Amino acid sequence: MRRPAIQEELGAAEDLITYIPLGDYVVSIQFASWAPDLHWLSARVPGSDHHLRTTLSAGWSAVLRTVARDSEEPLSNSTVELWSLPGFDDQAPTGASGEMLPRRIRSNTTNDEGFALISGISVPLATGRVRRDGYVKAKAPILSASPGTWTFATVYMDRGGAFELQVALNEVPVSGARCDLRAPDLSNTVTAATTNSEGICQSSGIAPGHYAVVVEVPGEDASAIVAVKIENNSRTIQSVELKKMTISGHVLLGDEPAIGYTVSAVSTDRAFGDETSPKIEFNTKTDEEGEYELDIYQEGTFIVSVSNDVASTGEFRIVDLRGDEEIDFQAAASEIQGRVIDEASRAVAHAKVAVQWEGTLRSVEADEDGLFQIPFYKTGGSAEIWARAEGFEPSEKIRLEVTDGIQDGVALLVRKRSEMHGVLLDTSGAGFRGWIWLQRTNEGRPSASFLGFVETAPDGTFVIPAEAGRLQLFFGGPGCALGVREIIFPLTEEKLYLHCRRPANIAVRLLTEDEAGLVDHVTLLIKADNVVIPADVLRRHLMAFGLPSYTDGQGVVALVALEPGTYHIYHGNVTSELNILAGLEDGYLTTVELFRDSTVEVEVAIKSSRNPFEGAFESLKGFSQ
């Protein structure tokens, strides 16, 4: 697609290319810096004539091809829509709260070869949405090209899979039970279904991936959460047997009932870090007698713990739940109470108080008056406590013995940090709502210390904690390229003015050295000139565009809206920020020079897609638009 089969310069308003080999072509007609006018040409009949009429339009152009993932066959009659990204479109509509919304800017339908040609795209960044009967809706990657050029992307579409869930309560099929298919973190519902007379709920046309099915039985307090994996062209069949099991007991505060405490049971599937499993959690409150009953309708291993509105007690039990269980808790055999104050002995509201005791680390939050309580479920040993608060230095650590009863009057002193005042300005010079990240470089050491993160006010003003010395500041927001600045604090001026620059983009594609396989789920780290951009900063920046900071299933990661400059790109699964700061070349992939409004696309071949720790990054293929 990138190398022209035929290239001619037309000197008149109408001119001829006299010979075209038989075949199918994407024809790009370009005049000066106008967007390429793209046409599909099928030259199938020897001696036939083909006439194309061109239209001049500003911006850039795009060629998208839709392909069935399972068969690699092109998909015709797919509807392709290009939408602008909020912050990168002067004509974007606004929502009820004044926020910028996406706008559909162009659309087309793919031809028999799966191609959709879209010319004259005026916004710097766009995303594609693709739909076709019999396939799951798909999204194209973030698209961008320099004015007067064009870009190409392939969109793989899935037929999707189906799930079938048999629901029974006490061994009897349940009719009318609700089955919500949700994301693994239960954040949003993908589709909903209801069980039929045989207790079966089902749904189809679902994108491959991991999901959670939330089952609720009407008229009953019965519910369950089931992890489901959907695969292309297959039906996942599972069953869930709901059986009422009760965890009950007493929670005491010393010798008195602990009233209004929360008793939680969390499935170990999630509690032990399996990110593909849904979080299965059940909660209840203790009554006036300190008693509780927690009804659970699915078997499994659960962590049962007790907390109140202030903090967790630190005590927990692991239960292999197969029937009723009785568990008693001592909410607090001991308690430390105190206050977080500043240098003027004023209360510091909502400070975080950390406590390290018997190999565990937990935290509580002080209230509006700076008061805090730390409960301990048993006595013995010493605890180390300290406080942190936004805009303050951490307090000194205090060591206390955990004894019977209540220890009060503990004071944790936090000292006010210095503050930097500034204004974030967009490319037109107007203030806007964005974000600021500040860190301090550590002299003589290859590391940096985080100082603060703030979101700016609507007029772009911000105040952020700072310390004297050499600081690194990162900033961004809608319509703003990811900014990197090195400054010396205190400032010579009253305010720091940060100006957003016009963006440039990098699209990186990783594949194995024999080009036989794509490399997915590789995190990239980047260094802008001599400043390593923290992984959290890059992740936050890309998330604003709905993009991951790791390669997708096609081995591609789009590093969009960067400032012009020199960028060194690293394989984040092999190296780390500290190694890069130390000057080590582990995981180095390539260096890219970015100019304003440009898009650079590179392909990097690495030795192994399965084990990136096996050495060499050997070849680089790339081109710049």
Q: Residues 140-165: pLDDT tens digits?
A: 777 877 788 888 888 989 888 899 99
Q: Are 464 and 391 in contact (CB under 8 A)?
A: no
Query: What average pLDDT does range 172-185 have in this prediction?
Result: 90
Question: What do you get for the CA distance between the two ends of the chain, in Å?
Answer: 14
How far, in Å, CA of 139 to CA of 95, rounded? Answer: 23
Confidence of residue 45 (pLDDT cuts 50, 70, 90): confident
Confidence of residue 114 (pLDDT cuts 50, 70, 90): very high
Tokens linked to 154: 């392939």
Q: Please identify which residue in the block is written with the tokens 């089969």.
A: 5
How far, in Å, CA of 232 to CA of 358, rounded? Answer: 49
pLDDT at 70: 83
Find the angle CA(540)-CA(543)-CA(546) to the nearest 5 degrees.
170
Query: What average pLDDT does range 481-496 have in this prediction?
Result: 93
Is 215 a residue whose pLDDT tops 70?
yes
Confidence of residue 311 (pLDDT cuts 50, 70, 90): low
Is 325 a residue whose pLDDT tops 80?
yes
Confidence of residue 276 (pLDDT cuts 50, 70, 90): low
Q: Where are the beta strands (DSSP E) in 268-404?
A: 281-285, 291-296, 300-307, 312-321, 325-326, 329-330, 334-341, 352-357, 360-365, 371-376, 382-388, 398-401
pLDDT at 315: 72
Query: What average pLDDT does range 18-32 have in this prediction?
Result: 82
Minimum mean pLDDT among 80-84, 195-199, 439-443: which range?
439-443
Confidence of residue 488 (pLDDT cuts 50, 70, 90): very high
pLDDT at 376: 81
**Residue 581: helix, strand or coil by DSSP?**
helix
pLDDT at 94: 81
pLDDT at 17: 62
Q: Residues 398-428: pLDDT tens digits?
A: 999 988 878 888 999 998 888 899 999 988 8
Confidence of residue 4 (pLDDT cuts 50, 70, 90): low
**Residue 311: C-alpha distances to residues 283, 372, 373 (Å):** 15, 9, 8
Minimum mean pLDDT among 67-71, 318-322, 429-433, 596-600: which range?
596-600
- Which span out of 180-194, 271-285, 494-508, 608-622 was modeled with the highest average pLDDT? 494-508
Options 2.60.40.180, 2.160.20.10, 1.25.40.420, 2.30.130.10; CATH for 504-624 is 2.60.40.180
Nearest alpha carbon to residue 12 among 34, 31, 25: 31
Is 612 a residue whose pLDDT tops 60?
no
Options 3.40.50.300, 3.30.450.40, 2.60.40.10, 3.40.50.10490; CATH for 161-242 is 2.60.40.10
Report the DSSP pairing between strands 79-84 and 60-68: unpaired
Letter for the amino acid at 152? F
Has domain 334-413 been given CATH number 1.25.60.10?
A: no
Is 441 a residue whose pLDDT tops 60?
yes
Is 300 a residue whose pLDDT tops 60?
yes
How far, in Å, CA of 323 to CA of 427, rounded? Answer: 64
* CATH of segment(s) 23-157: 2.60.40.1120
Q: Are 109 and 80 in contact (CB under 8 A)?
A: yes
Q: Indicate the domain borders of the chain.
A: 23-157, 161-242, 245-330, 334-413, 418-494, 504-624
| Exposed e or buried b per residue across 107-125, where buried means at least 16 C-beta atoms within 10 angstroms of its C-beta | ebebbeebbbbbbbbbbbb
| Exposed e or buried b per residue across 383-408, where buried means at least 16 C-beta atoms within 10 angstroms of its C-beta | bebbbbbebbeebeebebebeeeebe
Minimum mean pLDDT among 94-103, 106-115, 357-366: which range?
94-103
Query: What average pLDDT does range 322-336 have in this prediction?
Result: 86
Minimum mean pLDDT among 41-50, 338-347, 411-420: which range?
41-50
| Other Cβ atoms closer than 10 A to 430 | 9
Tokens linked to 202: 């089902």
Give me the DSSP letters along 71-89. T--B--S-EEEEEEPTTS-
Is 260 a residue whose pLDDT tops 90?
no
Task: Give phi and psi for 3, each to the nearest 5.
Answer: -95, 120
Is 375 a residue whose pLDDT tops 70?
yes
Is 327 a residue whose pLDDT tops 90?
yes
| Percent of the chain scoring above 90 in pLDDT | 40
Is 618 a residue whose pLDDT tops 60?
no
Q: Domain 245-330 sits in which CATH superfamily?
A: Immunoglobulins (2.60.40.10)
HSE value, Cβ hemisphere, 13 Å, CA-based, for 113: 12
Burial of 170 (0-12, 13-18, 19+ CB in 10 A): exposed
Instruction: Give the single-character DSSP code of 535.
Output: H
575-579: long-range contacts at Cβ-Cβ below 8 A with a sequence spacing of 24 or more? 575/525, 576/525, 577/525, 577/532, 577/534, 577/535, 578/446, 578/447
Minimum mean pLDDT among 126-130, 306-310, 318-322, 511-515: which range?
511-515
Is 555 a residue whose pLDDT tops 70?
yes
Is 50 a residue whose pLDDT tops 70?
yes
pLDDT at 25: 87
| Percent of the chain scoring above 70 in pLDDT | 89
Average pLDDT of every residue of the chain: 85
Q: Please identify which residue in the block is written with the tokens 């879209």.
A: 118
Confidence of residue 517 (pLDDT cuts 50, 70, 90): low
Burial of 463 (0-12, 13-18, 19+ CB in 10 A): middle
What stretches of 502-618 show up as alpha helix (H) in DSSP? Answer: 535-543, 577-581
- Say what the pTM is: 0.56
pLDDT at 18: 62
Q: Please identify which residue in the block is written with the tokens 């909660």.
A: 283
* CATH of segment(s) 418-494: 2.60.40.1120
How far, in Å, CA of 257 to CA of 292, rounded? Answer: 11
Q: Where are the beta strands (DSSP E) in 158-254?
A: 161-169, 172-173, 178-182, 189-194, 200-206, 209-216, 223-230, 235-242, 245-253
Query: What average pLDDT does range 330-340 have in this prediction?
Result: 83
Tokens linked to 445: 């050491």
Query: What average pLDDT does range 466-470 have in this prediction?
Result: 87
The residue count of the chain comes to 625
Q: Is the dihedral of CA 107, 86, 553, 119 positive or negative?
A: positive
Confidence of residue 614 (pLDDT cuts 50, 70, 90): very low
